[in-house]
Amino acid sequence: MTDMAIRQPAVQAVPLTLRLAVRDIGGITRRNLLRIIRTPQLLFMSIVQPTIILLLFRYVLGGAIRVPGLDYVNYVVPGIFLEAVLIGGMTTALALAQDLQAGIVDRFRSLPMARPAFLAGRTLADVCRSVVALAFIIGLGLGVGFRFHDNAWACLAGVALIIAFGYAFSWVYAAIGLAVKDPQTAQMAAILPMFILFFASSALVPVSTMPGWLQPFAQNQPATVTINAVRALFEGGPAFHDLWQAALWCAGIFAVFLAISMNLYRKATA
């Protein structure tokens, strides 16, 4: 009888406090950072890709592109910064699909951890990798002639906006990874929004040079708005209008795709 009493489980769960939830997020983030450190080739590739795009547009194509009122290098490099974080985030989709297929999602869902922590820890670790890639691309940008013209605070705000956009967008990738479930498909599917948002934006050429039917989309989509805000912050122009629009986009993308991803995670089956 006494033995039975000892084996009798504690019937209430420890209440899930904010402190425990933060600790869960920390644990998962650490796991994913260890994974990133232990696959340096992936980190390397997430730096190589934007490097190639940057060199391509700076040296191969850039000579033929004229933008009014700005050196092309100062026009295009902020766009490549955004591309660097968008590329970095794509691994979120791939990694989540892998975890789902390997049954790791099942294991974590069967634990008493805070439910959002699994995805939050994933996106936080991935944004850390994006920051490393971004730091490299900023250095490279400076090396090929890009210059920050506004004061340090404005430039830092611009970099922070790029990171915020990258983080918000990593939840889009999270939703893609959980929805398609298969790592290969996830990788292909994650390229699509990146391609559309990056190429049909003001990142590489002014929207005014695009055909009329494309302009309304290209002018108002989140990547353009964010790049315009970042450029204005780096160059010292009027940034306020673009800045609050970009902030709203980030908040909106984050909120909507957080909800979608959490819903997919709750019902996840491999």
Partner 1 sequence: MNAAVEVEGVTKRFGGTLALNDVSFSVQQGDVLALLGPNGAGKTTLIRVLTTLLKADSGRARVAGLDVQKDARAIRSVIGLAGQYATVDELLTGRENLELIGLLYHLDKAVYRDRAQDALERMSLTGAGDNQVKTYSGGMRRRLDLAASLIGRPPVLFLDEPTTGLDPRTRNDLWQFIEELVAEGTTVLLTTQYMEEAEHLAQAIVVLDAGRIAAQGTADELKDQLGGNVLEVQVTKRADLEKAASLIAGLASAPPRLDAGLNRVTLPVKGGARVLIAAGRALDDAGVELEDLGIRRPSLDDVFLSITGHPAAPGGDAGQPPHSPEAGR
| Contacting residues toward partner 1, per CB under 8 A | 3-4, 6-14, 16, 20, 23-24, 27-28, 30-31, 34-35, 38-39, 102-104, 106-113, 117, 269-270
Least distance CB 103 / partner 1 (angstroms): 4
Comparing CB distances to partner 1, the nearer of 14 and 18 is 14
Strands of the chain (E only): list them: none
The dihedral sign for the CA sequence 35, 38, 44, 49: negative
Instruction: Measure the CA–CA gap between 233 and 156, rounded to whole angstroms.
Output: 9
Comparing CB distances to partner 1, the nearer of 46 and 201 is 46
Comparing CB distances to partner 1, the nearer of 29 and 228 is 29
Query: Quick one: which of 256, 192, 203, 196 has its CA closest to 225?
Result: 203
Least distance CB 104 / partner 1 (angstroms): 5
Element (H, E) at 225: helix 222-235
Least distance CB 111 / partner 1 (angstroms): 5
Instruction: Measure the CA–CA gap between 27 and 22, rounded to whole angstroms.
Output: 9
Comparing CB distances to partner 1, the nearer of 27 and 145 is 27
Least distance CB 265 / partner 1 (angstroms): 11
In the chain, the N- to C-terminal Cα span, in Å, equals: 42
